[in-house]
Amino acid sequence: MDMARNSSTSRPPAPPSKGSPIHRYRMAKRIPKPNSPMSRPPTRSPALRKSNRTCKKHRPMDRLLCGDVGYGKTELAMRAAFKAVEYGKQVAVLVPTTVLAEQHERSFRERMVNYPFHVESISRFKSAKEQKEAVRRTAAGEIDILIGTHRILSKDVKFADLGLVVIDEEQRFGVTHKERLKQMRRTVDVLTMSATPSPVRFT
């Protein structure tokens, strides 16, 4: 049977709805094209491979990604987030400033514009109404990637199925926030990015 000829003449089925078993299976099998924004830079492959292997283990990942500004830490964080959402998990991206939260929101949305992922941010730049709606949608599982400042660590922010926490410059957060992060490390994967890691991080 000529599979190529039959596939070219057959009518493609309607795309499955997000969250369905067929959709999750297809997303898990989807491989970004080499010329797409999600293609893998060869110079960063070792760090990406190590993160992927650690994420697949039964115990939660706690990995530090250290590099100078412009090295590509955010790019690797986006790829880790992509894999987490691909398998049905939610991602929290914690940043120290509201400006960085807005920058990350734009970067994540640009990278994943061709995928059915919902990216949102929460910070003081958002109105009280917008923040309340983002919190509601996050708890309902409607937001895949939530980016924000320490506001993400508030008690009213709950995730339906959190799988990965990305922390940008952890040393810039306070003691209370670090205690909350320490609790999160027991149950979810954590990827910390830093250009100047604190020695305390290694103790």
Phi, psi of 143 (to 5 degrees): -105, 125
pLDDT of 74: 87
Strand partners, 191: 63, 166
Strand partners, 92: 146, 165
Which of 186, 176, 127, 126 is CA-nearest to residue 155? Answer: 176
pLDDT of 99: 92
Task: Work out the average pLDDT over 101-124.
Answer: 92
pLDDT of 42: 46
Instruction: Tell me what the pLDDT averaged over the chain comes to.
Output: 76
pLDDT of 176: 78
Q: Where are the beta strands (DSSP E) in the chain?
A: 62-66, 90-94, 119-122, 145-148, 162-168, 189-194
> Tens digit of pLDDT for each residue in 143-154?
999 999 888 988
Which of 81, 62, 55, 194 is CA-nearest to residue 146? Answer: 81
What's the rounded Cα separation, in Å, for the pair 49 and 80?
A: 10
Residue 184 has pLDDT above 90, yes or no: no
Q: Could you report how far apart the first and last alpha carbons of the chain are, in Å?
A: 63
pLDDT of 124: 87
Task: Work out the average pLDDT over 163-181.
Answer: 80
Residue 48: which pLDDT band, with cuts at 50, 70 and 90? low
pLDDT of 53: 57
pLDDT of 108: 94
Task: Work out the average pLDDT over 20-40.
Answer: 46
- 120 or 63, which is more confident? 120
What's the rounded Cα separation, in Å, for the pair 158 and 36?
A: 33
Q: Token pair for residue 50?
A: 């190590």
* Single pTM value for the model: 0.69
What's the rounded Cα separation, in Å, for the pair 136 and 48?
A: 32
- CATH number for the domain formed by residue range(s) 62-196: 3.40.50.300
Residue 92 has pLDDT above 50, yes or no: yes
pLDDT of 57: 55
Strand partners, 162: 90
